[in-house]
Amino acid sequence: MTVRKFELTRRVTKEECSWLERDYEIGETVFKCVQCTYGCIGPAGMAVTKSSDGDYPFFEIPYDALKEIGWIYAGNLWGSSSWGLI
C-alpha cells in the first residue's frame, strides 16, 4: 500500500478550522488518511494524519494548504520525481 505524503504550504489555525486540536505550521508533514472517514470531510478539505501508515486518528486540512511531496511504500519514502527516490 502507498500513502501520499504532504507538506503544509501555509499556517492552518484553530481559528480558521475550529475542529483542529492545535495550529499547524508551514512545513509540517502530514499523510493522507487511508482509513474510512465516515463522510465527515468537506469538499474543500482532505483527511490527513500524522501517522506515516495513513492510520487513525485523522483530521481535515484545507486542500489549498497542502503540497504533495512524495509517498510512503512499505516503510520507505518514494518521491514523485523522475528519479523515483527522494
- Give domain status of residue 10, yes or no: yes
- Give domain status of residue 83, yes or no: no
pTM: 0.83
Q: Note the pLDDT tens digit of each residue in 29-85.
A: 999 999 999 999 999 999 999 999 999 999 999 999 999 999 887 455 555 443 444
**CATH code: domain of residue 12:** 2.30.30
- Give domain status of residue 85, yes or no: no
Q: Which residues of 27-37 are buried (b: 16+ CB within 10 A; e: fewer)?
A: eeebbbbbeee
Measured CA to CA, the distance from residue 28 to residue 86 in angstroms comes to 17
Residue closest to 11 by CA, chosen among 26, 22, 21: 26
Domain count for the chain = 1
Measured CA to CA, the distance from residue 79 to residue 9 in angstroms comes to 18
Torsion angles phi and psi, residue 4, rounded to 5: -70, 140
Name the residue range of residue 66's domain: 2-78
- Give domain status of residue 84, yes or no: no
Q: Note the pLDDT tens digit of each residue in 40-50.
A: 999 999 999 99
- Give domain status of residue 15, yes or no: yes
- Give domain status of residue 86, yes or no: no
